[in-house]
Structure 1
């Protein structure tokens, strides 16, 4: 068998079937592996493929603030105008659809959503997803759900495609990077209506020559992992989260202990002007770097984010350095 030759742009059948089985088992969503699943060389490229497939100059895209910066970057590369919709702690980090309804949506072609949300860790409810599907249908907007954190420290994973009628207005990106610790392997997939998959595939086929077959076969095995795998992964992240929360507490930050996903998102003390000011001071004085929320949009400027990708020894060392910095500077 030729493992080293060009592969199908649409991925090998075994991988598409494995994704279909996984969606049925985990979300009770039935997908046709022949035409409703498109394997990707990482889900990040799917953001670009969707943008290049559906956007052109003059189109507008709704993008969350705070949110993953790639949504905006891809839209701009496609020549579209980015329209940010603000997410706030007061509103649970979910879109205020009443505000969106008052906007001029005539040129909006696409809306990005991401639940569990990065960076806040907010969990999208079935009610939210239903409201978003209805909103997208009313305004003929393609709803793009980026869903890589569904199984990280989350007892209630969902797909937007669970909502009746969602297939007509929404697509979903997923990834093996987070749940299966395969970030460097670059394996993801897009799922949705066969027409959407066909349209994106038409663009994608001009950008690559298929995914290396052994990687696809490895992805098949990953998707077959039993529940014990998910428990073991989350046991590791849970231990890291305890340390990340201790770091935030040491800094006087406040946070929602109910947040899910791969990060701890916390509000900084009022004594600092924004997250960058605190992050810069920590880096310079304590030699600890923590991501300032500003990089995810101005609605994140009063926050810091710690990634649970950092291993326990690193988090423990960071906590020790911060405790020493506090003592040396007589900080409460």
Structure 2
């Protein structure tokens, strides 16, 4: 059977391919330490697991669920945004729970993109923005990010381009992979830009509570709801990556378009997961304080790893990664550098090139590894 033409527009995800290689090394007896993947190794709040267990005896637990999630979950999301971002949301019309924010990338794209439409995508950025755009027959338009500009878009440069075919623009702050943080001033300029060119902005915001004292939502900007959506997730903030629990927020009209797609793609989120998510969202700020204490210790150790590899890095970043520039005298590509470390030291990190051409010359270290393992990496490199 001949597959659809769209399948030829994308390649197998790097981590899908590379982790098979890593598993092969493990099966061959290598003790691989994985500093590549941003999958939290810590446990969710205990009240979350308790809520899931308790929900299993509820008469609603095993039935089809609402495509919009139970009202209590939407209310919890709205309350969370009010408490932590000072953003007021109508829980009935401006909040849509998702099975992870990754599905939101597809749903939003399907709701807005026609074949031939253009999408502004950061270089470097999360590869899924590009793959989904290509799968739908739309055209990625990359805008380069530079360390010299704090990894923020140069809106003045974008203004000089023909943007007439651009439907929307992906932004992601705190930024993955660099950890750069946006400012309120930048978001204000971005909203003005979006209104001028009638471009929908989508901010993907799952890292705002990790090693970041001032969480910021684009929806906190005056007038943002007219031209912006925000994706968020419980994966990183509450160590619930495998639960696949996320949300998209914005103007009711935009949410309704996304719901049209979503309601044809699934039959609602499992009830127990929704009950657990409600408990997570009600957590106090003490939860984030405890979480960040652990990540702070790990980050300092990862800085040691990067330093021993003669890499340089910015300490004023957020999120669960360290983004590091390869040594000035390095002659290897980022993938070659990663492979050399993998096969010589049994340590896996992520090459920056998988996030775009602007990522070449960089590598990314994950903080989702225990202090003991990071110390072992330091010993191996030494």
Q: Provide the TM-score with structure 2 as the length reference.
A: 0.84
Q: In structure 2, the residue corresponding to 1:95 is in which secondary structure? A: coil
Q: Structure 1 unaligned segments of length 5 or more: list them.
A: 324-332
Q: In structure 1, the residue corresponding to 2:347 is in which secondary structure? A: coil
Separation in 1, partners of 2:218, 2:82? 13
| Structure 2 partner of 1:327 | none
| Structure 1 partner of 2:22 | none
Tell me the number of residue pairs that the alignment of Structure 1 and Structure 2 aligns. 323
Separation in 2, partners of 1:208, 1:166? 29
The yes-or-no answer on 1:156 pairing with 2:211 is no
Shift of 1:271: 2.1
| Structure 2 partner of 1:7 | 65
Separation in 2, partners of 1:258, 1:288? 25
The yes-or-no answer on 1:133 pairing with 2:191 is yes
Indicate if the aligned counterparts of 1:288 and 1:322 stay in contact, CA closer than 8 A.
Answer: no
Q: 2:239 aligns with which of 181, 192, 208?
A: 181
Q: Structure 2 unaligned segments of length 5 or more: list them.
A: 1-58
| Structure 1 partner of 2:355 | 296
The yes-or-no answer on 1:101 pairing with 2:159 is yes
Structure 1 stretches of at least 4 aligned residues deviating more than 3 Å after TM superposition: none
Separation in 1, partners of 2:251, 2:352? 35
- Counterparts of 1:232-243 in structure 2 under 5 Å? 232-243=290-301
Separation in 2, partners of 1:80, 1:316? 45
Shift of 1:67: 0.4
Indicate if the aligned counterparts of 1:48 and 1:74 stay in contact, CA closer than 8 A.
Answer: yes
Q: In structure 2, the residue corresponding to 1:90 is in which secondary structure? A: helix
Q: In structure 2, the residue corresponding to 1:197 is in which secondary structure? A: helix
| Structure 1 partner of 2:324 | 266
The yes-or-no answer on 1:28 pairing with 2:91 is no
| Structure 2 partner of 1:285 | 344
Shift of 1:318: 1.4
| Structure 1 partner of 2:260 | 202
| Structure 1 partner of 2:99 | 41
Separation in 1, partners of 2:220, 2:192? 14
Separation in 2, partners of 1:279, 1:214? 40
Separation in 2, partners of 1:266, 1:2? 48
The yes-or-no answer on 1:68 pairing with 2:68 is no
Deviates more, 1:143-152 or 1:264-273: 264-273
Deviates more, 1:310-319 or 1:294-303: 310-319
Q: In structure 2, the residue corresponding to 1:123 is in which secondary structure? A: coil
Q: In structure 1, the residue corresponding to 2:81 is in which secondary structure? A: helix
Indicate if the aligned counterparts of 1:6 and 1:209 stay in contact, CA closer than 8 A.
Answer: yes
Q: 1:314 aligns with which of 362, 370, 373?
A: 373
Deviates more, 1:268-277 or 1:18-27: 268-277
Q: What is the CA deviation profile of residues 60-119 of structure 1, one whole-angstrom value per residue up to 9, with x for unaligned ones?
A: 000011100011111111110001110011111000011111111000001000000001
Q: Which has the higher contact order (CA 8 A, sep 6+)?
A: 2
Shift of 1:290: 1.3
Q: In structure 1, the residue corresponding to 2:348 is in which secondary structure? A: coil
Q: In structure 1, the residue corresponding to 2:302 is in which secondary structure? A: helix
| Structure 2 partner of 1:329 | none
| Structure 2 partner of 1:116 | 174
Taking only aligned residues, the RMSD between alpha carbons, in angstroms, comes to: 0.8
| Structure 2 partner of 1:192 | 250
Deviates more, 1:120-129 or 1:264-273: 264-273
Separation in 1, partners of 2:109, 2:135? 8
Separation in 2, partners of 1:153, 1:52? 33
Shift of 1:279: 1.2
The yes-or-no answer on 1:223 pairing with 2:271 is no
Q: Provide the TM-score with structure 1 as the length reference.
A: 0.96
